[in-house]
Amino acid sequence: MPQSDQWITATKGRIATDGYSWMQAVHWAHEHADYTAPRPHGPQSINETTLVIAQELSRLNPCRPGVGYLTRITRLSERTIQYHLELLRGSGLLTYRSKGTRVPGEGGRASEYCLTIPPAFDEDVRARTGPSEQYIRSLRGIDPAGLPLMKRLAKKASRAIRRRPARHSASRPATPSCTPMQVGCSTSSPTGTSTPPSESKLASGKPPASAPKKSPTARKRRSLNAVGRRYQLAHELITQVPWLARANTQRIAWIVRHVADAGWTAAEVIAVVGQEAAAQRVHRPSGFLASRLRGATELYSTPEHRAAILTWWQDSRHAEQARHTEWDDQWHQPTSRAVARQVDDVFSHLTTRTPVPEDDHPAYQTGGDGLVDLQQLTRDQVIDLRAAAQKDPLLIRSTIATCGEPYARRLFSNHLVDQLLRLTGTGRLILHRGLA
């Protein structure tokens, strides 16, 4: 896979719902994939060492490992780690969400990856997929012809998840291996109350004939008390809400004690907090959360009321934009003067209805829908508009809101519009060049 396709904005694969499903694809690539590294030195294809590194990556959420962290866990050299990460990216199993770099005064930052499943895996196991806003595509079922291969891969993945070499446990650092980010590849919390099913259990989509019997010697899962539920809710909020990333868990647990005791979920708390416009900067996250939740238990006292506000929040366009881009539905002038001049020139052409003097700008004719016919624009003007859209993606968004998506695709190209729509689901607003 070329480097241009190793980004979440350009990948043809789908995002794995969990580490277990991703390990099935890794074992498939180990057995069936024919990818070979283009370099003449180092490992040329996925091997047992790659599987060891992939097991560590499958446990991270979000997946933002550093080379130093992987060397401590696996006791491999830095060069070996880099070789096998390159193999995973080239096989379509890892895609960049953000590339690591060095920040002056802060040191290096590790790259953040999305665990992806290549299309060749879905074709080999006869998987049926459909469009999904969160995972690019979602698994809908597996044809019976692919079940034997899927079960064998599921067995290998389950053994890899359960087994952990003893020599690795002594090297595990006490500090968290991954810093919670805004919107990760998997938005579910590792301690949440619901976990997406593994892909091997979807099979053909038909329910089993009878429910499996529980073993009489099976242990009962320990239930949380009131304090445990408060800490669990606090941890989920810190993981999922960007401005709570650095908040203290004990303080947040004390703030949400009333809603936790009333049986609220993290999604219901986020829905209530997100009713108002998102703040541009939060200086005291705990105080801001306490202010947003003041009187919430009295206002939404029944599960029906909370379900209604949750449904409204999920369907709200304003809430969707606030969760991903923190955009207040008002377009702002670009900070770059060059981009601002180009934007002013574009809007003066697209929204004008009366001819302007010929010595300033030529007059553009509008159609029956009131929009300017794009065939009147010159090639240089279209190139300048697309370059401005790469610098400021909000120009595309405002054009879609004003003139419609088909008009924006004709003006800025399907490639740029698809990138913007894909980035809307990942919380990023950076359009990369050369990713066609």
Question: In the chain, what are the domain boundaries?
Answer: 3-186, 226-324, 337-424
In the numeric block, which tokens belong to residue 62? 């979000």
Burial 126-153 (b: 16+ CB within 10 A, else e): bbebeeeeebbbbbebbeeebbebbeeb
Report the chain (436 residues): mean pLDDT per 10 consecutive residues. 80 87 90 83 88 88 82 90 90 86 70 88 87 81 87 83 49 42 40 45 51 51 82 90 86 91 89 74 84 84 84 65 47 68 74 51 63 79 85 82 84 84 59 46
In the numeric block, which tokens belong to residue 353? 């209805």
Give yes or no for a contact between 86 and 50, defined as CB atoms under 8 angstroms apart. Answer: no
Q: What is the pLDDT of residue 104?
A: 66
Q: What is the pLDDT of residue 166?
A: 40
Angle between the N-to-C axes of helices 414-424 and 379-391, in degrees from 0 to 180, rounded to the nearest 10: 10
Q: What is the pLDDT of residue 368?
A: 66
Give yes or no for a contact between 195 and 187, defined as CB atoms under 8 angstroms apart. Answer: no
Cα–Cα distance measured from residue 264 to residue 91, given in angstroms and rounded to the nearest whole number: 42
Q: What is the pLDDT of residue 252?
A: 92
What are the residues facing 136 on neighbouring strands? 132
The β-bridge relationship of strands 127-132 and 136-142 is antiparallel
Q: What is the pLDDT of residue 330?
A: 52
Give yes or no for a contact between 240 and 187, defined as CB atoms under 8 angstroms apart. Answer: yes
**Residue 295, phi-psi category: left (phi > 0), alpha (psi -120 to 50), beta (remainder):** left
Q: What is the pLDDT of residue 331?
A: 58
Cα–Cα distance measured from residue 22 to residue 77, given in angstroms and rounded to the nearest whole number: 24
Q: What is the pLDDT of residue 167?
A: 43
Residue with tokens 């929040």: 313
The alpha carbon of 329 is separated from its chain's Cα centroid by a whole number of angstroms, namely 22
Cα–Cα distance measured from residue 51 to residue 42, given in angstroms and rounded to the nearest whole number: 16
Cα–Cα distance measured from residue 25 to residue 149, given in angstroms and rounded to the nearest whole number: 11
Residue type at 320 in one-letter notation: E
Q: What is the pLDDT of residue 160?
A: 65
